[in-house]
Homo-oligomer: A and B are copies of this chain.
Amino acid sequence: MKAEILKLLKATPDFVSGQQLCEGLGVSRTAVWKAIRQLEEEGYVIEAVRNKGYRLTSSPDVLTAPELKSVLTSRWLGGELTCLYETDSTNNQARRLAEEGAPEGTMVVADCQTAGKGRRGRNWASPHGAGIWMSFVLRPALAPVQASMLTLVAGMAVVSGIRQAVGLESMIKWPNDAVVRGKKICGILTEMSTEEDSIRHVVVGIGINVNTKDFPEELAPTATSLSLELGRPLKRAPVIAAVAEQFETYYGRFLEKGDMTEFMEEYNRMLANRDREVCVLDPAGTYRGTALGIDREGSLLVKKEDGSLASVISGEVSVRGIYGYV
């Protein structure tokens, strides 16, 4: 009920009468009053004026289920929603829920990860309040080999969602990151469980640095946050809602063909590596070239210095920019 009250209060810049709330939700005045009191305890500032009703004047930056449900605009993503104050990693938690049968669209959000994961087993710093640490459970009717493209789909959703929510332009660093001015603002980690040649579930994890002020010395040159870029603190819930809405749309379009055919142009416009000189750290031998963009399977096409084309498969190699951080 708190989610519905928040939704109504957020939808109305003016006062909402107690009677409207009671009738809208089909509950008693006492129930509404109790829920308002609880919301105030959680940090919401709600003006209450006799004969006028309630008005929300300020929301805290909390990632509770009522707060998220009051802002989510996705149709099915987040239909099952788990909000945790702290967890080891939202991917781990989402995987545990998926193993127990959690449906497609289950969303796990945590205020803090004690063992946040990056790519290749790296640690991902995820302190309280500093960012968005969330994971989606998906059950696409795809072959396992197609699932790696979901990382690219999530990348587009992050770039579009950040633009929609806070107006900041970010770009994709193929395959797993989003960057602003060459500095990492988001990482994506996709896990999968298969049975023979069918997917049991996929977990897409998204970490976005939102209010991080200070990065450890070794990360400072290559990492940034939304608030550092915009010069003001930000609320995380609206960013989550925008990324979720965008993901739902991109994912739906992706499932139609199961490859990146429809997205190549759009993805390549978002691609920070595009037309840049890159160094491909292939286990078989490092080489330089120019990144041209992705192909329909999501591989990165690189024009080598000898003019030949290489198709770089995610995971096989690392791609490093030569100029700047991208």
Contact = CB atoms under 8 A, between A and B. Distances in A.
B145 A196 contact: no
Contacts of A145: 144-145
B196 A193 contact: no
A14 to B, nearest CB: 49
A95 B194 CA distance: 11
Interface string A170-203: 0000001000000000000111111111101000
A277 to B, nearest CB: 24
Nearest to A205: B195
B197 A191 contact: no
A314 interface: yes
A195 B200 contact: no
Interface string A139-155: 00001110010010000
B316 A197 contact: yes
B176 A315 contact: no
Contact of A194 (B96, B176, B191, B197): B191
A65 to B, nearest CB: 26
Interface residues of A, number: 27
A119 B196 contact: yes
Nearest to A91: B195
Nearest to A147: B194
Given A192-B193, A193-B193, A198 B315 contact: yes
Interface of A: 95-96, 99, 117, 119-120, 143-145, 148, 151, 176, 189-198, 200, 313-316
22 contacts: A96-B99, A99-B99, A119-B196, A120-B196, A120-B198, A143-B315, A144-B145, A148-B197, A151-B196, A176-B196, A190-B195, A190-B196, A191-B194, A191-B195, A192-B193, A193-B193, A193-B194, A196-B314, A196-B315, A197-B313, A197-B315, A197-B316
